[in-house]
Structure 1
Amino acid sequence: MKYIKYLGGFLLLTIICLPLLSQTKERWKDVNNEYINAHGGGVLFHNGLYYWFGEHRPENGFTTEVGVNCYASSDLQNWTHKGVALAVSEEPGSDIERGCIMERPKVIYNKKTGKFVMWFHLELKGQGYGPARAAVAVSDKPEGPYRFVRSGRVNPGIYPENMPEADRKLTWNMKKYKKWWTPEWYKAVNQGLFVKRDIEGGQMSRDMTLFVDDDGKAYHIYSSEENLTLHIAELTDDYLQHSGRYIRIFPGGHNEAPALFKKDNMYWMITSGCTGWDPNEARMFSASSIGGPWKQHPNPCRGQNSEKTFGGQSTFVLELPENRFI
């Protein structure tokens, strides 16, 4: 369920691709000798403890039957199960009804409100990966329980700040672009084909992460536009909504699994290509401002199986205290 790689002051957490789970012999256990079940998660450091949040995955299938698990550790090696931070609902028709799909949960702490805020990718029960929603929950304690607030598409009725005015005015006949990967299709995607299609109901949000900058501003980074284009969206001061300010980067680049961190005033992001459940080569991007422009770099991974991100996929980067090795 996990893979951790040390990157000189940072930990890159990757998730093992599901078909490989049955083939790998190394499975991490908590202090009670139970397997850690915290897929696609992230880690929050608060008051001397690391809190690892991740989706509880069943032995078979992809639907969420339990919710988001929470584990705590003082040393990043020995983990105690703190329980289910956000449980699925037994209420028929609830956004988080048992059998929905909850993925990539991330938690950040809001110093102004004293609340812990969780965002995750949500698909409604029985609808596959069509809804492509972002969901938010809140708690008074890091381990929860979290109270579900809402879910939906992102920034309905609002265009990205870096989308040219001329592109915003374009109209598209979607029937002309049923065939993907043609030069004409790439050009249309770059000019906002799917942004325009989804403008009224809001932009799609699938694989995602959260990032809190030095000034306390928080950002939601997610794969959008049919997993073709990454978006970086600013959150409101309470971290519970989107402010309406967002950008799109590398249109048509087919990036997912974003993991963002900051070092020496530079923003760095690791992503994955889209190859289903099969691992692929990691990608790295940098920018001097979170609003871009962003530049692509070669695969940052080194060593055996680095060309397949060690059989996993990026999900979160955790900064470690100086001189801390595990």
Structure 2
Amino acid sequence: MRGCGLLMIGCIVAGLGLSAEAQEPRRAFTPGQVWAATDGEHINAHGGGIIYRDGTYYWYGENRAARTPGGPRVASPGVQCYSSTDLFNWKNEGVVMKVIEDNPNHDITRGCNIERPKVVFNQKTKKYVMWFHLELRGQGYSAARSGLATADSPTGPFTFVRSLRPNAGIWSIEFPESSRTPVTAAEAKELLQGQNFRPGLAAGVYARRDFAGGQMARDMTLYVDDDGKGYLVASAEENYTLNIHELTDDYLDFTGKWTRVAPGGHNEAPAILKHNGKYHMLASGCTGWAPNPARVLQADSIWGPWKNVGNPCAGTNPQNNLGPEKTFGGQSTCIFQVAGKPGAYIAMFDEWRPRDLRNSGHIWLPVKFDGDRMVIDWTDKWDLSVFDK
């Protein structure tokens, strides 16, 4: 009871602080601290990403519904969007893709789990295309699907198109010919027994198991390369492997070309940037809601080979005394370029609070490079002038 009482008091104090803070425009990033939108409410867009169009940034993320302290988790209403012209002050644009309320059999009926929504603009079709990780209602995390929605405006409404597992019936480009034989779930379990577990993961036993129905797709991101080619990157094979799937020119489907990255590496939360011709994929380990060390995978081609070059983080978050060993208490979700500033990138992290997901924190930090090595230093307070140095 004492803990609940302190939590309620903290929420009241935080609420008062939000209202006061919202009256003054922000002029700097303060990672990990309460970040209010212009409506005075903490920004409720988690596991999200940023796009820039016509002078405005749009931040899409999971809307995590409010819950009574100690009560059950409340179903999400859908994907939330905020807009900003300066990256500091964000206007709440509302829920831009809503769950379905009147059809319990729909893929995105209320009670489904929509995570890590990402949006890109397609220059050819002039459509805004959203992909997201979807778990069907009542099925836990077993569905592991990719959901698709489109809109004519960055603030929606986004119309749900379909959900699926990527590239059913297609082998990855590097999968050995000698191993291209599907296996059942029971056969996969047998092949991964005991000391065969790690070698079996690397050899793609789970990919063989999922061949017919399509590959699992959990934590995900979207990446558009310099040539306009789009890719969906997702955690697959029970979160032990990352997959990169090439998208069609309209970004609405898969071309059938895909590859496995760091098989058996147990990575999730991918975010990609390209710097000086090299691809850098920021990711985390798999420890549920708890933070763990970040890592960067690097390659000269989107198709690999990818090499783990270590943890890019340095410094300590004074709010929780966590450093690189716990990624300052956060988990990667997106890296985006600042408009008009070539080479200026910001890394976004979620500071998950599983008992109060709506108020999970946002950690934004500048990305630097030491040669080809990505560096993300903790900074208590910063603004875009860091990129002018």
TM-score scaled to structure 1, two decimals? 0.89
Q: Which residue of 2 aligns with 1:82?
A: 93
Compute the displacement of 1:175 (Å).
4.0
Q: 1:310 — aligned with what?
A: 328
Instruction: Note if 1:211 corresponds to 2:223.
Output: yes
**Does the Cα contact within 8 Å between 1:62 and 1:101 map onto a contact in 2?**
no
SS at match of 2:385: coil
Preserved contact between residue 182 and residue 211 of structure 2 (Cα < 8 Å) = no
Instruction: Tell me the secondary structure at the aligned position of residue 37 of structure 2.
Output: coil
Bigger Cα Rg: 2
Cα distance in 1 for residues equivalent to 2:326 and 2:41: 28
Offset, 1:183: 3.3
Contiguous gaps of at least 5 residues in structure 1:
1-12, 17-23
Give the TM-score normalised by the residue count of structure 2.
0.75
* Aligned-residue offset at 1:65: 2.4
Counterpart AA for 1:122:
L
User: Residue 154 of structure 2 aligns to a residue in which SS?
Assistant: coil
Residue among 15, 31, 35 paired with 2:38? 31
3-state SS, counterpart of residue 174 of structure 1: helix
Q: Is contact 1:138–1:147 with CA below 8 Å preserved after alignment?
A: yes
What are the Cα deviations for residues 231-275 of structure 1, in whole angstroms up to 9, with x where unaligned?
000001110111110000111110000001111111100000001
Could you say what secondary structure the match of 1:238 adopts?
Answer: coil
Residue of structure 1 equivalent to 2:213: 201
Q: Compute the RMSD of aligned alpha carbons.
A: 1.8
Q: C-alpha displacement at 1:276, in angstroms? A: 1.3
- What CA distance in whole angstroms lies between the structure 2 residues aligned with 1:112 and 1:212? 13
- Aligned-pair CA distance for 1:325: 3.5
Rounded Cα–Cα distance in structure 1 between residues aligned with 2:160 and 2:237: 25
Write the letter of the residue equivalent to 1:300. Answer: P
- Would the alpha carbon gap of residues 244 and 63 (structure 1) be closer, same or farther in structure 2, given more than 3 Å must change? farther
SS at the partner of 1:325?
A: helix
More helix by share: 2
After superposition, what is the alpha-carbon deviation per residue over 1:201-235, rounded to whole angstroms, capped at 9, x for unaligned? 11100000000001100000000000000000000
Matched residue of 1:187: which SS? helix
CA displacement at 1:62 relative to structure 2: 6.0
Q: Which structure carries more relative contact order (alpha carbon 8 Å, separation 6+)?
A: 1
Q: 1:71 aligns with which of 35, 60, 82?
A: 82
Contact 1:71–1:79 (8 Å) recurs in 2: yes
Equivalent residues of 1:64, 1:88 under 8 A apart: no
Partner in structure 2 of residue 21 of structure 1: none
Shift of 1:58: 2.1
Q: Distance in 2 between matches of 1:241 and 1:288?
A: 25
| Rounded Cα–Cα distance in structure 2 between residues aligned with 1:243 and 1:170 | 21
Give 1:63 deviation, angstroms.
6.2
- 1:225 aligns with one of 223, 232, 237: 237
Q: Encode CA deviations 1:146-190: one digit per residue, 9 max, x unaligned.
A: 0000001111000100111112147572342464xx431111121
Contact 1:168 1:192 in 2 (8 A): no
Counterpart of 2:144 (choices 132, 139, 147) is 132
For 1:80, the aligned partner's letter is K
Can you give the 5+ residue segments of structure 2 that lack an aligned partner in the other structure? 1-28, 317-322, 345-383
In structure 1, what is the Cα distance between the partners aligned to 2:182 and 2:139? 30
Q: Does 1:144 align with 2:162?
A: no
Aligned residues with identical type, % of pairs: 50
Runs of 4+ in structure 1 off by over 6 angstroms are: none
